[in-house]
Amino acid sequence: MDDERKLKALGYEPRLTRRLSGFQNFAFSFSVISVPTGCLGMYLYGMNTGGPRVMMLGWIAVTVIVMCIAISLAEIVSKYPTAGGLYYMSERLGGRKWGWYTGWLNMLGLIGAVASIDFGAATITGMFLEMQWGISPSSNDIFLIFLGILLLHVAMNLFRAKVVAVLASVSAWWHLIGVAAIVVVLVVVPGEHQSPGFVVGHWNNDTGFPAFYVSLIGLLTAWYTFCGWDASAHVSEETVQSAMNSPRGMVRSVWVSGIAGFLLLGAVTFAMQNWGKAQGAESPPAQIFLDSLGMTGAKLLLLIVIGAQLFCGFAEVAACSRLVWSFSRDRAIPGSSLWARINRRNIPALAIVFTVFWAAVLASPALWSPTAYTAVVAINVVGFYPAVAIPIFLRVRNRKTFQTGDWHAKGWGVGLGVISLVFIVFGTALFSLPQARPAGGGLFSVETFNYAPVALGLGLLLATVVWMGSGRKNYRVPAVTSHRAPTAEADLD
């Protein structure tokens, strides 16, 4: 059965242009994970919560765990390769409410990811401006750069499908070659390096918490990086041979990122010239680049990182907009008749606008409170992994009736699913624990409070309010093949 017939059998008329190859499908998930964005963005956190020992060994452990989760989910993606991704799987395996809450968690998490990725890119861009031209951007300036990056990602995603596919390939190669270049330069160029024992064994704890606890929360350096790799599912309706290429792309993105991240973290730590100086900097990796390579070398490596962040944001906007579009064609979002439209280029243009608009709203508290911004974008993580857990749980529950698709785990699906659920519960608990002890003592303060569980609770509350208001009446996932597209998908003139 070809891709279009399979999609119709799942209840949807083909509307998007199917041009993505297997490599390009992989490129979206790989770009969203974005090892330079995650590893280097979380490097200071890692220095404070266990240091290199936890960063390096924890990275290996989390890579193995996420591989189990990715394989478990990929088996379900192969059965249900739709742009809706997680919520469509949950709907088919568990019913309307399972699909509804999965979709809202996934959507809020992805919008939070767009906000955090692009705001991080704006911050690093501001740092580069200061290094290059002596311009020191204010918080308002950083926010304006952030808005400019969002508009850039709108423009990139509005290109024809052929151009978007090329951009996905360029993004993957930028990440692969960029990480390789950073690793080689940091290993070869500096005159002095840390010892291998320091790179994998140095311990540091600046949280005020006991060592065992810090060893656990230090794993978040890797957990935070490995988010959003379900992008392969969200672009499945634009992927050829999607029942094979989408699950393959998802799994491949995790193990390739695992190798690349380990090498990158190791190279950055190996090139560190002064621990105290790096730890006291606004961006330790930038300081390490500067100390080990000089100003010119540091700026060149920062440009590689900024490029990776921009491609990461581009891929995340693409993935999120496809989810918004699919969720809207099933009438789950207020104003669905708008967000489910596609333009003459077969691009969900208004869903793209919806995505970046709400990403800007989520990031707006950064204008006056970094703590508030952290609270808002925490939904990125606590939205993603619980949303992933739901279809895996339902697949395990329905293990006697679930029929695998073209790609499967060769009989390991249920076992890996159980392992995945255990670790997702464990990881979500880590996301919700305090990350640093207040200077004045106690467990909590406004500056150190972990707002992740609050963000998760607000996300679930919002989903419940919309469900009670309009969702239970309007939300419908098609049960059988439809030979006529829903009216909400009418083309824009």
Query: In this prediction, what percent of the chain has a pLDDT beyond 70?
Result: 93
The whole-number average pLDDT for the span 339-343 is 95
| The predicted structure's pLDDT at residue 491 | 39
| The predicted structure's pLDDT at residue 486 | 39
pLDDT band at 307 (very low <50, low <70, confident <90, very high): very high
Cα atoms in the 13 Å half-sphere on the side-chain side of 252:
16
pLDDT band at 492 (very low <50, low <70, confident <90, very high): very low
Q: Where are the beta strands (DSSP E) in 46-119?
A: none
CB 28 within 8 A of CB 231: yes
d(CA 131, CA 309): 18
Q: What is the pLDDT of residues 223-250, one digit of tens each?
A: 989 999 999 999 999 999 999 999 999 9
| The predicted structure's pLDDT at residue 456 | 83
The whole-number average pLDDT for the span 394-410 is 94
| The predicted structure's pLDDT at residue 454 | 83
The whole-number average pLDDT for the span 418-427 is 95
Is the model more confident about 321 or about 134? 321
Q: Which structure tokens are listed for 469?
A: 């208001």
CB 324 within 8 A of CB 357: no
d(CA 74, CA 88): 14
Is the model more confident about 433 or about 79? 79
| The predicted structure's pLDDT at residue 447 | 67
CB 365 within 8 A of CB 40: no
Residue the block writes with tokens 């672009």: 235
Q: What is the pLDDT of residues 42-79, one digit of tens each?
A: 999 999 999 999 999 999 999 999 999 999 999 999 99
CB 154 within 8 A of CB 270: no
- Provide Rg for the chain, Cα atoms: 22
pLDDT band at 479 (very low <50, low <70, confident <90, very high): low
Nearest to 265 by CA among 58, 48, 31: 58
pLDDT band at 273 (very low <50, low <70, confident <90, very high): very high
Secondary structure class of 298 (helix, strand, coil) = helix
Count H helices, E strands: the chain? Answer: 23, 0
Buried b (16+ CB within 10 A) or exposed e, 244-259: bbbbbbbbbbbebbbe
Is the model more confident about 372 or about 177? 177
Buried b (16+ CB within 10 A) or exposed e, 385-407: bbbbbbbbbbbbeeeeebeebeb
d(CA 27, CA 314): 11
Kindly tell me if the per-residue pLDDT of 490 is higher than 50: no
DSSP structure class, residue 424: H
CB 317 within 8 A of CB 154: yes
DSSP structure class, residue 352: H
| The predicted structure's pLDDT at residue 365 | 85
Nearest to 492 by CA among 354, 355, 340: 340
Kindly tell me if the per-residue pLDDT of 419 is higher than 50: yes
Kindly tell me if the per-residue pLDDT of 437 is higher than 70: yes
pLDDT band at 472 (very low <50, low <70, confident <90, very high): very high
Kindly tell me if the per-residue pLDDT of 115 is higher than 80: yes
